[in-house]
Protein backbone atom coordinates (compact mmCIF):
# COMPACT_ATOMS: atom_id res chain seq x y z
CA UNK A 1 0.00 0.00 0.00
CA UNK A 2 1.07 3.65 -0.39
CA UNK A 3 2.37 5.74 2.49
CA UNK A 4 -0.94 7.71 2.64
CA UNK A 5 -2.67 7.58 6.06
CA UNK A 6 -5.84 6.37 4.32
CA UNK A 7 -5.71 4.14 1.26
CA UNK A 8 -6.50 6.11 -1.86
CA UNK A 9 -8.13 5.39 -5.18
CA UNK A 10 -8.07 7.19 -8.51
CA UNK A 11 -11.15 6.92 -10.72
CA UNK A 12 -10.31 7.92 -14.28
CA UNK A 13 -13.30 8.28 -16.56
CA UNK A 14 -14.61 9.91 -19.68
CA UNK A 15 -18.22 10.97 -20.10
CA UNK A 16 -19.99 12.53 -23.04
CA UNK A 17 -23.58 12.38 -21.83
CA UNK A 18 -22.91 12.23 -18.07
CA UNK A 19 -23.74 8.56 -17.35
CA UNK A 20 -20.13 7.48 -16.73
CA UNK A 21 -19.72 10.55 -14.52
CA UNK A 22 -22.68 9.35 -12.39
CA UNK A 23 -21.08 5.91 -12.12
CA UNK A 24 -17.72 7.47 -11.17
CA UNK A 25 -19.42 9.55 -8.45
CA UNK A 26 -21.26 6.51 -7.09
CA UNK A 27 -18.00 4.49 -6.94
CA UNK A 28 -16.22 7.39 -5.20
CA UNK A 29 -19.00 7.54 -2.59
CA UNK A 30 -18.73 3.79 -2.06
CA UNK A 31 -14.96 4.08 -1.55
CA UNK A 32 -15.31 6.98 0.90
CA UNK A 33 -17.95 5.05 2.86
CA UNK A 34 -15.32 2.33 3.36
CA UNK A 35 -12.67 4.74 4.65
CA UNK A 36 -10.81 5.33 1.39
CA UNK A 37 -9.85 8.59 -0.25
CA UNK A 38 -11.24 8.87 -3.77
CA UNK A 39 -10.08 11.19 -6.54
CA UNK A 40 -12.19 11.47 -9.68
CA UNK A 41 -10.36 12.54 -12.84
CA UNK A 42 -12.31 13.27 -16.02
CA UNK A 43 -10.43 12.86 -19.29
CA UNK A 44 -11.22 15.62 -21.77
CA UNK A 45 -11.62 14.69 -25.43
CA UNK A 46 -9.99 17.48 -27.46
CA UNK A 47 -9.60 15.81 -30.86
CA UNK A 48 -10.91 18.28 -33.43
CA UNK A 49 -11.73 15.53 -35.92
CA UNK A 50 -14.59 14.29 -33.72
CA UNK A 51 -15.38 16.65 -30.88
CA UNK A 52 -17.69 19.01 -32.73
CA UNK A 53 -19.81 16.22 -34.19
CA UNK A 54 -20.04 14.26 -30.97
CA UNK A 55 -20.55 17.06 -28.49
CA UNK A 56 -23.51 18.69 -30.21
CA UNK A 57 -26.61 18.14 -28.08
CA UNK A 58 -29.27 17.66 -29.21
CA UNK A 59 -27.79 16.20 -32.41
CA UNK A 60 -29.21 17.29 -35.75
CA UNK A 61 -28.36 13.94 -37.37
CA UNK A 62 -27.56 11.51 -34.55
CA UNK A 63 -26.81 8.46 -36.69
CA UNK A 64 -24.46 10.34 -39.00
CA UNK A 65 -22.73 12.12 -36.14
CA UNK A 66 -22.35 9.02 -33.99
CA UNK A 67 -20.98 6.96 -36.87
CA UNK A 68 -18.34 9.63 -37.65
CA UNK A 69 -16.03 7.87 -35.19
CA UNK A 70 -17.03 4.29 -36.06
CA UNK A 71 -14.12 3.43 -38.42
CA UNK A 72 -11.54 4.81 -35.97
CA UNK A 73 -13.18 2.98 -33.06
CA UNK A 74 -13.16 -0.32 -34.94
CA UNK A 75 -9.47 0.14 -35.73
CA UNK A 76 -8.68 0.94 -32.07
CA UNK A 77 -7.28 4.36 -32.91
CA UNK A 78 -6.28 6.91 -30.31
CA UNK A 79 -6.96 10.66 -30.40
CA UNK A 80 -6.09 13.91 -28.66
CA UNK A 81 -7.06 14.22 -25.02
CA UNK A 82 -6.31 16.39 -22.01
CA UNK A 83 -5.32 14.46 -18.92
CA UNK A 84 -6.06 16.21 -15.60
CA UNK A 85 -3.04 16.47 -13.23
CA UNK A 86 -4.51 13.91 -10.78
CA UNK A 87 -4.34 11.23 -13.48
CA UNK A 88 -0.83 12.14 -14.64
CA UNK A 89 1.07 11.03 -11.53
CA UNK A 90 0.24 9.83 -8.03
CA UNK A 91 0.78 7.02 -5.60
CA UNK A 92 -2.71 5.46 -5.54
CA UNK A 93 -3.59 2.11 -4.00
CA UNK A 94 -6.22 1.41 -6.64
CA UNK A 95 -6.96 2.76 -10.10
CA UNK A 96 -10.46 2.37 -11.56
CA UNK A 97 -10.87 3.10 -15.26
CA UNK A 98 -14.44 3.78 -16.45
CA UNK A 99 -15.37 4.16 -20.10
CA UNK A 100 -18.56 4.44 -22.10
CA UNK A 101 -18.79 1.82 -24.81
CA UNK A 102 -18.35 3.34 -28.25
CA UNK A 103 -19.05 0.99 -31.11
CA UNK A 104 -18.45 -2.20 -29.11
CA UNK A 105 -15.14 -0.89 -27.79
CA UNK A 106 -13.55 1.17 -25.06
CA UNK A 107 -14.15 4.83 -26.02
CA UNK A 108 -11.33 6.56 -27.87
CA UNK A 109 -10.63 9.04 -25.04
CA UNK A 110 -10.11 6.25 -22.48
CA UNK A 111 -8.11 4.11 -24.91
CA UNK A 112 -5.93 7.19 -25.54
CA UNK A 113 -5.38 7.58 -21.81
CA UNK A 114 -4.56 3.89 -21.35
CA UNK A 115 -2.00 4.15 -24.16
CA UNK A 116 -0.38 7.30 -22.69
CA UNK A 117 2.87 7.45 -20.68
CA UNK A 118 0.87 9.08 -17.85
CA UNK A 119 -1.30 5.98 -17.45
CA UNK A 120 1.83 3.86 -17.25
CA UNK A 121 3.18 6.10 -14.48
CA UNK A 122 -0.04 5.88 -12.48
CA UNK A 123 -0.84 2.19 -13.03
CA UNK A 124 2.54 0.50 -12.83
CA UNK A 125 2.46 -2.08 -10.04
CA UNK A 126 -1.00 -0.99 -8.88
CA UNK A 127 -4.27 -2.89 -8.64
CA UNK A 128 -6.71 -1.67 -11.29
CA UNK A 129 -10.35 -2.35 -12.15
CA UNK A 130 -12.24 -1.83 -15.40
CA UNK A 131 -15.75 -0.45 -15.78
CA UNK A 132 -17.84 0.03 -18.90
CA UNK A 133 -21.08 1.92 -19.33
CA UNK A 134 -23.37 1.31 -22.28
CA UNK A 135 -26.83 0.95 -23.68
CA UNK A 136 -27.23 -2.77 -23.91
CA UNK A 137 -27.08 -3.40 -27.61
CA UNK A 138 -24.25 -5.38 -29.18
CA UNK A 139 -21.44 -6.82 -27.14
CA UNK A 140 -19.09 -4.84 -24.96
CA UNK A 141 -15.38 -5.47 -24.92
CA UNK A 142 -13.99 -4.99 -21.43
CA UNK A 143 -11.10 -7.30 -22.33
CA UNK A 144 -9.38 -4.44 -24.16
CA UNK A 145 -9.35 -2.23 -21.09
CA UNK A 146 -7.92 -5.10 -19.08
CA UNK A 147 -5.22 -5.82 -21.65
CA UNK A 148 -4.16 -2.17 -21.86
CA UNK A 149 -4.05 -1.85 -18.07
CA UNK A 150 -1.90 -4.96 -17.80
CA UNK A 151 0.37 -3.61 -20.51
CA UNK A 152 0.88 -0.60 -18.23
CA UNK A 153 2.07 -2.94 -15.48
CA UNK A 154 -1.18 -2.88 -13.50
CA UNK A 155 -2.64 -5.85 -11.59
CA UNK A 156 -6.23 -6.49 -12.66
CA UNK A 157 -8.63 -6.93 -9.72
CA UNK A 158 -12.06 -6.82 -11.30
CA UNK A 159 -14.48 -5.48 -13.86
CA UNK A 160 -18.12 -4.62 -14.22
CA UNK A 161 -20.51 -3.37 -16.83
CA UNK A 162 -23.26 -0.85 -16.15
CA UNK A 163 -26.17 -0.85 -18.58
CA UNK A 164 -28.98 1.56 -19.24
CA UNK A 165 -32.65 0.86 -18.73
CA UNK A 166 -34.67 -1.01 -21.39
CA UNK A 167 -34.03 -4.01 -23.66
CA UNK A 168 -31.64 -4.12 -26.63
CA UNK A 169 -33.74 -2.42 -29.28
CA UNK A 170 -35.84 -0.17 -27.08
CA UNK A 171 -32.76 1.06 -25.24
CA UNK A 172 -31.11 2.03 -28.53
CA UNK A 173 -34.24 3.77 -29.81
CA UNK A 174 -34.72 5.59 -26.50
CA UNK A 175 -31.13 6.81 -26.66
CA UNK A 176 -31.28 7.91 -30.32
CA UNK A 177 -34.54 9.74 -29.57
CA UNK A 178 -32.88 11.44 -26.60
CA UNK A 179 -29.82 12.47 -28.63
CA UNK A 180 -31.99 13.90 -31.39
CA UNK A 181 -34.54 15.75 -29.28
CA UNK A 182 -32.42 16.59 -26.23
CA UNK A 183 -34.95 15.15 -23.80
CA UNK A 184 -36.33 11.68 -23.00
CA UNK A 185 -39.00 10.55 -25.45
CA UNK A 186 -42.02 8.67 -24.11
CA UNK A 187 -42.63 6.93 -27.42
CA UNK A 188 -40.49 6.22 -30.51
CA UNK A 189 -42.11 4.61 -33.58
CA UNK A 190 -45.18 4.16 -31.41
CA UNK A 191 -43.25 2.05 -28.85
CA UNK A 192 -43.24 3.03 -25.20
CA UNK A 193 -39.70 3.93 -24.08
CA UNK A 194 -37.83 3.39 -20.81
CA UNK A 195 -35.78 6.34 -19.53
CA UNK A 196 -32.64 6.71 -21.71
CA UNK A 197 -30.20 6.60 -18.81
CA UNK A 198 -28.72 4.22 -16.23
CA UNK A 199 -30.88 1.65 -14.48
CA UNK A 200 -32.17 2.94 -11.12
CA UNK A 201 -30.10 0.40 -9.16
CA UNK A 202 -26.73 1.58 -10.52
CA UNK A 203 -25.62 2.98 -7.16
CA UNK A 204 -26.20 -0.40 -5.53
CA UNK A 205 -24.19 -2.03 -8.32
CA UNK A 206 -21.37 0.49 -7.71
CA UNK A 207 -21.33 -0.31 -3.97
CA UNK A 208 -21.20 -4.08 -4.41
CA UNK A 209 -18.57 -3.81 -7.17
CA UNK A 210 -16.33 -1.63 -4.99
CA UNK A 211 -16.83 -4.00 -2.05
CA UNK A 212 -15.65 -6.95 -4.18
CA UNK A 213 -12.70 -5.02 -5.58
CA UNK A 214 -11.53 -3.86 -2.16
CA UNK A 215 -11.69 -7.44 -0.85
CA UNK A 216 -9.32 -8.42 -3.66
CA UNK A 217 -7.05 -5.38 -3.27
CA UNK A 218 -6.21 -6.34 0.30
CA UNK A 219 -4.68 -9.58 -0.95
CA UNK A 220 -3.36 -8.30 -4.31
CA UNK A 221 0.37 -7.92 -5.05
CA UNK A 222 1.05 -4.17 -4.91
CA UNK A 223 4.10 -2.42 -6.34
CA UNK A 224 5.34 -5.71 -7.78
CA UNK A 225 6.43 -3.99 -10.99
CA UNK A 226 7.05 -0.57 -9.39
Smallest gap from Cβ 66 to ligand FMN, in A, equals: 4
Query: Distances in Å between the alpha carbon of 104 and those of 67, 86, 107, 109, 185?
Result: 12, 28, 9, 14, 24
Rounded Cα–Cα distance for residues 120 and 111 (Å): 13
Contact 174, 196 (CB under 8 A): yes
Rounded Cα–Cα distance for residues 206 and 202 (Å): 6
Residue 4 or 52 with smaller CB distance to ligand FMN: 52
Rounded Cα–Cα distance for residues 120 and 123 (Å): 5
Smallest gap from Cβ 162 to ligand FMN, in A, equals: 8
Smallest gap from Cβ 107 to ligand FMN, in A, equals: 7
Residue 13 or 128 with smaller CB distance to ligand FMN: 13
Residue 103 or 156 with smaller CB distance to ligand FMN: 103
Contact 198, 165 (CB under 8 A): yes
Query: Distances in Å between the alpha carbon of 146 and those of 155, 160, 192?
Result: 9, 11, 37
Nearest Cα neighbor of 6 from 89, 94, 82 is 94
Residue 54 or 94 with smaller CB distance to ligand FMN: 54
Binding-site ranges for ligand FMN (CB under 6 A): 15-20, 54, 66, 69, 100-104, 133-138, 164, 175
Smallest gap from Cβ 69 to ligand FMN, in A, equals: 5
Smallest gap from Cβ 171 to ligand FMN, in A, equals: 8
Smallest gap from Cβ 186 to ligand FMN, in A, equals: 19
Contact 114, 108 (CB under 8 A): no
Beta bridge partners of 129: 96, 158
The count of residues in the chain is: 226
Residue 121 or 185 with smaller CB distance to ligand FMN: 185
Q: Using alpha carbons only, what angle is made at residue 114 by residues 24 and 19, rounded to the nearest 5 degrees?
A: 25
Residue 45 or 92 with smaller CB distance to ligand FMN: 45
Amino acid sequence: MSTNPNPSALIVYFSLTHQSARVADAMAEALIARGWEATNAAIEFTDERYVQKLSEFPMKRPLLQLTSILPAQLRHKTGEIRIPPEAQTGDYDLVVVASPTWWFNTSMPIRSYLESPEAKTVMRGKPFACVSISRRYFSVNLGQQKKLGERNGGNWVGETHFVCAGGQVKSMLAWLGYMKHGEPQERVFGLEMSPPNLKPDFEEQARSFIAGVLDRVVGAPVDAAG
